[in-house]
Amino acid sequence: MSLTPASVSLKTAQLKAVYRMLAFNEDADTFDDDYQLPPAGSSHNQWKILIYDAACRSIISPLLSVSQLRRRGVTLHLLLNSDREPIPDVPAVYFCRPTKENLAIIAQDCAKGLYGKAHLNFVTKLDRELMEDFAKLVVQTGSLDVVAGVHDQYLDFVCLEQQLFSLSKKNSYALYNGSGASEEMMENAMTEIAYGLFSQVATIGKV
């Protein structure tokens, strides 16, 4: 879907939100320009690990190259469901969908002490029920202090160009028109689309 040329650059707005996320959700207005960034590894641009699922990797990939991530202090970027070695003295920025499976993996990471601190960023709204289930898991394992923060980012769309984005919903036409689609499946798919469109609107600040 494309936007009118007069609109605010959606890609720029999404990129700024990602910069803020990589800065542990602190004000990163002064760090929009790579050349004005403090040196990677300094107190204002700490080393960190980026952990994402496949959907959020698709969001990050068109925005930032490996070298640009490096300038933002990202030493490693790894898939959430991959085998990962512990690096207990480095904080981790998680960026993923708010699903039961993803939250279970994150809770396991916290229990194992894989990283120094866990900064959790969900691509869209984290439902209260899932949040409460996750809280129970980290409390039971005594790892609540590992969680540095939880944020709903509302970035559930892929920006392909300055004014072009995709919700990246595979086989959506087949789902809506297929004979095997249940009402629940269609309702869930429509909810995902609604969250994606809301993310786009929220990112350009037009809510």
- Write the pLDDT tens digit of every residue in 38-76: 888 888 889 999 999 999 999 999 999 999 999 999 999
| Dihedral angle of Cα 114, 87, 99, 2, to the nearest 10 degrees | 170
Q: What percent of the chain is modeled with pLDDT above 90?
A: 69
In this prediction, residue 28 carries a pLDDT of: 59
CA neighbor of 22 nearest in space, from 62, 63, 81: 63
Task: Give the pLDDT confidence of 104-135 residue by residue, as tens digits.
Answer: 999 999 999 999 999 999 999 999 999 999 99
Whole-structure pTM value: 0.90
Greatest Cα pair distance, the chain, in angstroms, is 57
Q: Is 128 exposed, middle or buried (0-12, 13-18, 19+ CB in 10 A)?
A: exposed
Is residue 74 classed as helix, strand or coil in its secondary structure?
A: strand
172 has a pLDDT exceeding 80: no
